[in-house]
Amino acid sequence: MPLVTSTEMFKKAYNGGYAVGAFNVNNMEIIQGITEACREEKAPVILQVSKGARAYANRTYLVKLVEAAVIECPEIPIVLHLDHGDSFETCKSCIDDGFTSVMIDLSSKPFAENIEGTKKVVEYAHDHGVVVEAELGALAGVEDDVNVSAEASHYTRPEEVEEFVSKTGCDSLAIAIGTSHGAYKFTAAQCTRNEKGELVPPPLRFDILDEVVKRLPGFPIVLHGSSSVPQNYVKMINENGGKMPDAVGIPESQLRKAAESAVCKINIDSDLRLALTGTVRQYFNEHPDHFDPRQYLKPARANIKELVRHKLVDVLGCNGKA
Ligand code: G3H
Ligand code: 13P
Ligand code: ZN
Pocket perturbation via mutation, ligand 2, pick of 54, 229, 268, 304 by most ligand atoms within 8 A of CB: 268
93-106 per-position pLDDT tens digit: 999 999 999 999 99
The alpha-helical segments, DSSP class H, found in 73-160 are 88-97, 111-127
126-136 per-position pLDDT tens digit: 999 999 999 99
Question: How far apart are alpha carbons 268 and 278 in whole angstroms?
Answer: 17
CA of 287 to the centre of ligand 3 (A): 35
Residue nearest to atom 7 of ligand 1 (CA): 144
Given a cut of 70, whether residue 145 has pLDDT beyond it is no
Could you say which DSSP state residue 188 is in?
G
Helix H or strand E segment including 85:
strand 78-85
Average pLDDT over residues 311-319: 98
**Which protein residues touch ligand 2 with a CB less than 6 Å away?**
24, 83-84, 181-182, 224-227, 267-270
247-275 per-position pLDDT tens digit: 999 999 999 999 999 999 999 999 999 99
83 is catalytic: yes
- What pLDDT does 141 receive? 77
- What pLDDT does 62 receive? 98
The answer to whether 209 touches 258, Cβ cutoff 8 Å, is yes
Pocket perturbation via mutation, ligand 2, pick of 25, 175, 227 by most ligand atoms within 8 A of CB: 227
CATH class, range 7-316: alpha beta
Closest to 234 (Cα-Cα) out of 250, 225, 251, 246: 246
The answer to whether 241 touches 261, Cβ cutoff 8 Å, is no
The answer to whether 156 touches 176, Cβ cutoff 8 Å, is yes
pTM of structure = 0.97
Question: How far apart are alpha carbons 309 and 304 in whole angstroms?
Answer: 9
* 81 CB near ligand 1 (under 6 Å): no
* 27 CB near ligand 1 (under 6 Å): no
273-306 per-position pLDDT tens digit: 999 999 999 999 999 999 999 999 999 999 999 9
Given a cut of 90, whether residue 310 has pLDDT beyond it is yes
Could you say which DSSP state residue 159 is in?
G
Closest to 51 (Cα-Cα) out of 168, 176, 146: 146
* 143 CB near ligand 1 (under 6 Å): yes
- What pLDDT does 144 receive? 66
